[in-house]
């Protein structure tokens, strides 16, 4: 089982980026994103199950949109109105159940992470 994340990069304050995460090896009930800034704990960003139910962290709600292609086993994170405080390594994650969770320990599989840097 692998999760392959891509799409990170450097963007100016107020800009946009789209992250992608392709899963291989199995289909997951829930896929999502966490992020980790230097010196900080890994924090929940967004998650979505195969029924289309979503959950967002309050800090990104209204700016980020998670979507998923079940056929492609791929999850996307469209990030708009980016701020310097969004700078972090973004990790794709997945779990078998369709029950959404904001807790990192509840997720079974993790991608390698992709760096997002927002300049001020």
Residue pLDDT, tens place only, 85-100:
999 999 999 999 999 9
Question: Taking residues 53-69, what's their average pLDDT?
Answer: 97
Question: Taking residues 13-21, what's their average pLDDT?
Answer: 98
The predicted structure's pLDDT at residue 72: 77
User: How far apart are the C-alpha atoms of 105 and 107, rounded to whole Å?
Assistant: 5
pLDDT band of 116, cuts 50, 70, 90: very high
- Whether 104 and 44 have beta carbons less than 8 Å apart is answered as yes
The predicted structure's pLDDT at residue 71: 79
Q: Name the nearest CA neighbour of 34 among 118, 100, 120, 81.
A: 100
């Amino acid at each position: 089982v692998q999760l392959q994340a891509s799409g990170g990069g450097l963007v100016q304050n107020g800009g946009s980026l789209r992250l992608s995460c392709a899963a291989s090896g199995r289909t997951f009930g829930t896929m999502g994103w966490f992020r980790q800034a230097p010196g900080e704990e890994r924090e929940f960003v967004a998650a979505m199950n195969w029924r289309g139910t979503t959950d967002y962290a309050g800090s990104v709600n209204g700016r980020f949109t998670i979507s998923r292609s079940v056929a492609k086993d791929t999850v996307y994170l469209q990030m708009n109105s980016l701020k310097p405080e969004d700078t972090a390594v973004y990790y794709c994650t997945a779990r078998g159940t369709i029950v959404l969770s904001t807790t990192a320990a509840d997720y079974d599989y993790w991608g390698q992470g992709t760096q997002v840097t927002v300049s001020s």
